[in-house]
Amino acid sequence: MDTPESSSPTQQRLIGDLRLVIENAEELLKNTDHYTGVVYQNARAKLASALSAANEELARFEEEELARMMEETAAANELHQDMTGEARILRAFQYH
């Protein structure tokens, strides 16, 4: 499982940048589908493959991050004996 450093601001910024690159590349693919030359089609196929891998990796990371956050929340709830939703919410706002 990832370490707490996995949610650093730098890593979150990189994830945001990756999302933006994926969106731009998808837009590029959509807007170049009318190019029928072999070179263009090969380049588009490679880009589509890379985009698929990037989307899968991003989804995997987000699932791992969510699981880590849920585990940390459950551990904090147990540590502080927060048995009700109200207790959990009140404790969450104590530190902010």
Neighbours of 84 (CB within 10 A): 9
Residue 65 contacts residue 2 (beta carbons within 8 Å)? yes
pLDDT grade, residue 96 (50/70/90)? low
CA geometry: angle 96, 11, 3, nearest 5 deg:
75
Q: Taking a C-beta distance cutoff of 8 angstroms, is the pair 66, 15 a contact?
A: no
Model pLDDT, residue 40: 92
Q: What is the pLDDT of residues 65-79, one digit of tens each?
A: 889 888 988 888 888
Q: Where do the domains of the chain lie?
A: 4-94
The predicted-structure confidence for 11-41, as pLDDT tens digits, reads as follows 788 888 889 999 999 999 999 989 989 999 9
| Confidence (pTM) | 0.63
